Amino acid sequence: MDSIRNPSERIVHRGFLADVDAMFLRAAELVPMQTGLSEKIRICNETYITRFGVRLRGRMYTFEGWRAVHTNHPAPAKGGIRYAPSVDQEEVEALAALMSYKCALMELPFAGSKGALKIDVTDWSDAELERITRRFTQELARQNFISPALNVPAPDVGTSERTMVWMANEYLRMNPQDINASACVTGKPVAAGGIDGRIEATGRGVYYAIREFFNTERELSRTKLPKTVEECRVIVQGLGNVGYHAAKFLAADGCKIVAVIERDGVVRREKGLDIESLKRHFDSEGKVEGFPDGSYSEDGSAALEETCDILIPAALESVINHDNAERIDAKLIVEAANGPVTYEADRILNERGIVIIPDLYANAGGVTVSYFEWVKNIGHIPFGLMQRRQREHEQACLVEGLEDALGRKFTPEQKASFATGGTELDLVRSGLEEKMRSAFANMSELRAERADIGDLRTAAYVLAITRIKGMYEAIGI
Ligand SMILES: NC(=O)c1ccc[n+]([C@@H]2O[C@H](COP(=O)([O-])OP(=O)(O)OC[C@H]3O[C@@H](n4cnc5c(N)ncnc54)[C@H](O)[C@@H]3O)[C@@H](O)[C@H]2O)c1
């Protein structure tokens, strides 16, 4: 069930699906249900495989892609599209299953899906990637694997808001009469129907998750974690969308990001790395090597085992596995990536008293804000307009009440200073914070009620499975 590395050091995901299944089955045993239902929930309903040709550089190239739908209700199914050279069907199905459990845990009305294209994005120019993406979209749309009502992709490893806008545009071209066409993908640029705060959402969610843990469950850790987040020394793996934003928000809170591990190696600074300038360097050079305000070495995977308070794997699955779990020297592991800790490593780390904030919860900020974007698109109304009107009304009532109580009128400037913002970004951030807070509270309450649920991952899975089971039972299947 563990991952193995091939000679080129690329992770082979042979055990990822088996690991997700094993985590599911461990939790499903704690949820009473009719015979056979657990199996129905666990398996992936369907996986579409496409192999299509694109004429580029004067010849034909064939690409292979997948879109897996783990479950069909509620609709639409939701989940990212990954562009990577090492993907395969099992990886896509494992990620789709995680999406189902994640949406159920976060109480979002989506089923789970995931897609991937086997491609090394560094091999192709932007114009070529656009042509490949548009062809991939045609294949998916023809089979209803991209549709505002049925299946809604989002960015993931190797894709970005630019990929999403190509997909949305191609879907619209094929379906000009679909009034909800812009809701066929999320994670679009704001100027093209996206929502403020989506790019940072997963990393911000990781940050909220850590804060919730420190506020409520810090004593879960049998290791000596500092009392507050701000005192923590943090190691982050992956300076992509998720890793960069998580590191940025933690650093802004005062945490020291003492090491960042990337594809080419690791850069360290005991006093804390300047994340903004490291990111600028990484984006321009394509590597962390050469960053002037830190010391560099090539051995990134060994850096995962260095002493720290919080370890945030934010790149790939299965990086903490049977081979290194005994040597991990972090007090808290936060799964910003999907599936970075294997089933076997999870068992070892639990035995060692190292707390894991699981992927289902830790990286759910992305799909949560994608939900806000989808609602905004199908609502055809700026997100939060209704809430904003309601809030302005409540604000006015509050000010009037205060004036009555004090027996004097406020100046217009004073009234303006009482206003609490209310931009789309404010609403997205507060909506995300609330979702992360309530999901953590649900996990904590469940752990408090049930002596047989020790760790946060099992609590997250039990909540998700109970909700999915409830849905199947209500529908009558
Ligand atoms: N983007 C989202 O909104 C989102 C939401 C939920 C979960 N996730 C998960 O978070 C993880 C990262 O996604 P992302 O969107 O940040 O992808 P990304 O492509 O933006 O970033 C991934 C980063 O990891 C680095 N990386 C690749 N191989 C590495 C290695 N061997 N060692 C160290 N670094 C390596 C890449 O160079 C890149 O900088 C994935 O598991 C993804 O499924 C992403």
Give, for all 477 residues of the chain, the pLDDT tens digit: 344 333 333 333 458 999 999 999 999 999 999 999 999 999 999 999 999 999 999 999 999 999 999 998 899 999 999 999 999 999 999 999 999 999 999 999 999 999 999 999 999 999 999 999 999 999 999 999 999 999 999 999 999 999 999 999 999 999 999 999 999 999 999 999 999 999 999 999 999 999 999 998 777 767 789 999 999 999 999 999 999 999 999 999 999 999 999 999 999 999 999 999 999 999 999 999 999 999 999 999 899 999 999 999 999 999 999 999 999 999 999 999 999 999 999 999 999 999 999 999 999 999 999 999 999 999 887 776 666 666 677 667 767 766 776 677 777 766 666 655 568 888 899 899 999 999 999 999 999 999 999 899 999 999 999 999 999 999 886
3-state secondary structure of 461: helix
Give domain limits for the chain. Answer: 45-193
Q: Which of 169, 149, 26 is nearest to 76 (CA)?
A: 149
157 lines ligand 1 (CB under 6 A): yes
Length of the chain, please? 477
Q: Which of 336, 304, 310 is nearest to 323 (CA)?
A: 304
> Which residues are the active-site residues?
114
Span from the CA of 405 to the centroid of ligand 1 (angstroms): 54
Superfamily of the domain at 45-193 = Leucine Dehydrogenase, chain A, domain 1 (3.40.50.10860)
362 lines ligand 1 (CB under 6 A): no
Q: What token pair was written down for 187?
A: 């994670």
Whole-Å CA distances, 97 to 29, 40, 111, 323, 472: 17, 12, 9, 25, 16
Q: Quick one: 130 exposed, middle or buried, by C-beta within 10 A (0-12, 13-18, 19+)?
A: middle
**Probe target for ligand 1 pocket from 87, 208, 335, 363, with the most ligand atoms within 8 Å of CB:** 363
Taking the CA atoms of 17, 21, 23 and 24 in sequence, report the sign of the dihedral they define. Answer: positive
Alpha helices in 112-174 (DSSP H): 126-142, 161-174
Whole-Å CA distances, 343 to 1, 19, 240, 332, 374: 7, 5, 25, 17, 33
3-state secondary structure of 357: strand
287 lines ligand 1 (CB under 6 A): no
- For residues 259 and 295, give the distance between their C-alpha atoms in angstroms, rounded to a whole number: 9
- For residues 414 and 403, give the distance between their C-alpha atoms in angstroms, rounded to a whole number: 12
- For residues 463 and 122, give the distance between their C-alpha atoms in angstroms, rounded to a whole number: 40
Q: Is 363 annotated as a binding residue?
A: no
